[in-house]
Amino acid sequence: MQISNPGAVSRFSRHLQCSLFLGLLFFGMQATAGSDAPGTGFIKLVVPYAAGGPTDQIARKIAQALGERIGRPIIVDNKTGGGGSIATNSVVRSEPDGATILFNSSAMAIDPVLRRNLPFDVLRDLTPVTTAVVSPLVILVNPQVPAKNISEFVTYAKANPGKVNFGSGGAGSSLHMTTELFALEAGVKLVHVPYKGGGESIVAAIANNIQVVVNPMPSALQYAKNGRQLRALAVTSAKRSPNWPELPTVAESGVKGLEMFDSTIWYQFYVPSKTPNAIVDSLNSNIRTALQSAELSHWLQSQGLEALGDTTAQAAQRLQSEVKRWDSVVKKTGLRID
């Protein structure tokens, strides 16, 4: 056989060898980085809130660390609307292959007991992978409220039934429900004034349009650390926050009915319920490892958040117990969102 252009063949051979080498190198990198990660290709992380919001920011930070861990790109898909039901339903209906994951807050345990006719059953149709992050809340009052602690506030509220207003970022939100739980267990009557977001409720509290508001730790530190714009009374978690260790818990107030008070915002990852256990376990392991990275841990702490990363069984138990808790609150207060 006669070779008409040996130089061209030589160049083609070198090109082929280079392509094969790069392909093998890429495959090796993928195998090393994500050897215990299910599937290939990108992962879609569905977030039921707008881009730029607190939940979205947390999701993107964890997604970045998780993507680096498993060697797969993670695309955040913000599906807003329907009080989060549109995003949740899209994951419920997705293929149970670990390629579509839901990231949502503790609203997951509230919506099923507040909203009628949801097109899914949270406990039946989804599997919690892990509780990634927990965020303590802080009870804040306008400085004109004559109360320096929870005990004094409860006394003041009981002396003024129905005259103390509290705000939240919307009816049925974790901030709203935590305040309803507090009022129920403290035996006081507070009037709810819903706003379009947590920021608006903070502004209203500073202006004394409302007297009390429950908000996450970052905004509490921003507006109440100096005690001039708002006054912090207590943190709602079972333990004091390392971001504000001198601030007591609600349970430390000594008020009857509040001895075991503990209500926080938490964030979980979910996959469709038919997802194989091997995939769920792999995701759980990789997310928990990602949460331990120095950069992510530092960022979460700076935001007043606590990285948790529990087991799938513990995450499922949290969701079940929280649904039961909020169902009890709804029944006792008569709350309902249609």
Question: Around Cβ 185, how many Cβ atoms within 10 Å?
Answer: 18
Domain annotation covers residue 24: no
Tell me if residue 219 falls in helix, strand or coil: helix
pLDDT value of residue 19: 41
pLDDT value of residue 198: 82
- 8 Å CB contact between 175 and 169: yes
pLDDT value of residue 32: 36
Using alpha carbons, list the distances in angstroms from residue 330 to 46, 120, 126, 171, 189.
28, 20, 23, 12, 15
Kindly give the confidence (pLDDT) of every residue in the chain, 338 residues in length, as a single tens digit, with 9 standing for 90 and above.
344 444 443 444 444 344 433 333 333 333 333 334 456 689 999 999 999 988 999 999 999 999 999 999 999 999 998 889 999 999 999 999 999 999 999 999 999 999 878 999 999 999 999 999 999 999 999 999 999 999 999 999 999 999 999 999 888 989 999 999 999 999 999 999 999 888 899 999 999 999 999 999 888 999 998 888 999 999 999 999 999 999 999 999 999 999 999 999 999 999 999 999 999 999 999 999 999 999 999 999 988 899 999 999 999 999 999 999 999 999 999 887 76
Domain annotation covers residue 104: yes
What's the number of CA atoms in the CB half-sphere (13 Å) around residue 27? 6
Angle between helix axes 107-114 and 174-186 (nearest 10 degrees) is 80
Domain annotation covers residue 259: no
Question: What predicted TM-score, i.e. pTM, was given to this entire model?
Answer: 0.84
Same domain, 169 and 221: yes
pLDDT value of residue 31: 36
Same domain, 131 and 269: yes
CA–CA separation, 23 and 25 (whole Å): 5
Same domain, 115 and 98: yes
CA–CA separation, 131 and 318 (whole Å): 8
DSSP single-letter state for residue 252: G
Same domain, 80 and 147: no
Same domain, 218 and 246: yes
Same domain, 304 and 157: no
pLDDT value of residue 239: 95
Domain annotation covers residue 8: no
Same domain, 273 and 240: no
Domain boundary among 253, 273, 297: 253
User: Which residue, chain included where needed, has tokens 């039901």?
Assistant: 85
Dig out the tokens for 284 from the structure.
Answer: 């759980």
pLDDT value of residue 115: 86
Domain annotation covers residue 159: yes
Same domain, 213 and 69: no
Same domain, 57 and 126: yes
Same domain, 112 and 154: no
Same domain, 159 and 244: yes
Same domain, 249 and 293: no
Domain annotation covers residue 4: no
Using alpha carbons, list the distances in angstroms from residue 234 to 177, 185, 220, 259.
17, 15, 10, 13
Domain with residue 53: its CATH number is: 3.40.190.150
Domain with residue 176: its CATH number is: 3.40.190.10
* Total domains present in the chain: 2
Domain annotation covers residue 209: yes
Tell me if residue 69 falls in helix, strand or coil: helix
User: Which residue, chain included where needed, has tokens 């549109």?
Assistant: 86
Domain boundary among 218, 253, 288: 253
pLDDT value of residue 1: 39
Domain boundary among 225, 253, 281: 253
- 8 Å CB contact between 139 and 234: yes
Domain annotation covers residue 1: no
Domain that holds residue 244: 141-253
